[in-house]
């Protein structure tokens, strides 16, 4: 808490207290924002890595055969209708999952 006590009578008046708290709040907000950005970058990196694991041919999208084969590699046996249902549940309308920036989705 250095800088908390200001020169003078050794007491903290209301203005000194609010000034200190404002500085602390700003510092905390900046630190929180930086942590959030780092976490967001980490999540984006993790999501990209996961996407690339499914995108076997590096086409920039995951199609039904890639999804099915990767799921089978993970030990999950799925029928074609299971894959279609999975894509539909995820809101994918054209059988391909694209990764654009920070968003995964389908092109209509």
Q: What is the CATH number of the domain that holds 41?
A: 1.10.238.10
* H runs (alpha helix) in the chain: 14-54, 64-73, 80-89
For residue 2, what is the enclosing H or E element?
Answer: none
pTM for the complete prediction?
Answer: 0.54
Asked if residue 2 belongs to a domain, the reply is: no
Q: Give helix 64-73 / helix 80-89 axis angle, nearest 10°.
A: 110
**Domain tally for the chain?**
1
Asked if residue 88 belongs to a domain, the reply is: yes
Asked if residue 96 belongs to a domain, the reply is: yes
Please state, as a whole number, how many other Cβ atoms lie within 10 Å of the Cβ of residue 43. Answer: 11
Asked if residue 9 belongs to a domain, the reply is: no
Query: Mind listing the pLDDT tens digit of every residue in the chain (108 residues)?
Result: 444 455 566 666 667 666 767 777 777 777 776 676 666 677 778 888 888 888 989 988 888 899 888 888 888 888 888 888 888 887 787 778 887 744 455 444
Q: Give me Rg for the CA atoms of the chain.
A: 25
Asked if residue 5 belongs to a domain, the reply is: no
Which domain does 88 fall in, by range?
A: 14-105
């Amino acid at each position: 808490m250095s800088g908390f006590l200001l020169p003078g009578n050794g007491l903290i008046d209301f203005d000194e207290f609010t000034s200190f708290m404002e500085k602390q709040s700003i510092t905390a907000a900046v630190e929180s924002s930086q942590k959030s950005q780092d976490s967001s970058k980490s999540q984006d990196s993790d999501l990209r890595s996961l996407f690339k694991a499914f995108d076997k041919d590096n086409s920039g999208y995951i199609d039904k055969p890639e999804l099915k084969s990767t799921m089978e590699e993970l030990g999950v046996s799925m029928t074609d209708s299971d894959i279609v249902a999975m894509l539909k549940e995820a809101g994918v309308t054209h059988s391909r999952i694209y990764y654009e920036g920070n968003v995964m989705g389908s092109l209509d």
